[in-house]
């Protein structure tokens, strides 16, 4: 009986330790792009020399498009506990559906990203057409 209690106690301590360790490592977190400044910082960290000036942030904060003064754009999205960035160029397909803009990159592992942009979705969709012509 005592061995069972010791084993149960040890198991409980081990489970609590693993739960603490997972929290400490940030695993299972729900990363969000907090605001425009955060999106710009992420874009600038992703590509050296990129200086963001304008942001279209998804209402939920899972993705954003950051544009620089030259008109180049980077697409940011949550990827696990971090963020991934890809350039928005002529190979990226944009589809507008009311307040939503879906961008599909040629890279299958990055996948399609749908941003809820509200009334700004149309403006960003037109910028996608401009990128397609460049």
Q: What is the per-residue pLDDT across 27-51, written as a single tens digit (0 to 9) for each?
A: 666 789 999 999 999 999 999 999 9
Q: Where are the beta strands (DSSP E) in the chain?
A: 52-57, 63-68, 73-79, 82-88, 93-97, 100-104, 112-116
- Domain range annotation of the chain: 1-29, 36-133
Question: What's the mean pLDDT in 100-112?
Answer: 92
* Paired strand residues for 66: 55, 74
CATH 1.10.3720 correct for 36-133: no
Res 65 pLDDT > 90: yes
Instruction: Give the HSE-up count for residue 50: Cα atoms under 13 Å, Cβ half-sphere.
Output: 24
The helix (run of H) or strand (run of E) holding residue 121 is helix 121-133
């Amino acid at each position: 009986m005592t061995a069972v209690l010791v084993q149960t106690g040890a198991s409980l301590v081990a489970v609590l330790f693993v739960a603490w360790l997972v929290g400490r490592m940030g695993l299972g977190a729900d990363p969000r792009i907090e605001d425009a400044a955060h999106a710009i910082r992420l874009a600038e960290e992703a590509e050296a020399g990129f200086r963001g000036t304008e942001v279209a942030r998804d209402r939920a904060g899972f993705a954003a498009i950051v544009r620089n003064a030259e008109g180049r754009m980077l697409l940011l999205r949550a990827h696990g506990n971090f963020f991934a960035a890809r350039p928005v160029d002529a190979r990226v397909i944009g589809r507008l559906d009311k307040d939503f803009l879906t961008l599909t990159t040629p890279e299958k592992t990055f996948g399609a990203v749908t941003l809820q942009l509200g009334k700004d979705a149309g403006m960003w969709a037109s910028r996608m057409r401009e990128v397609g012509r460049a």
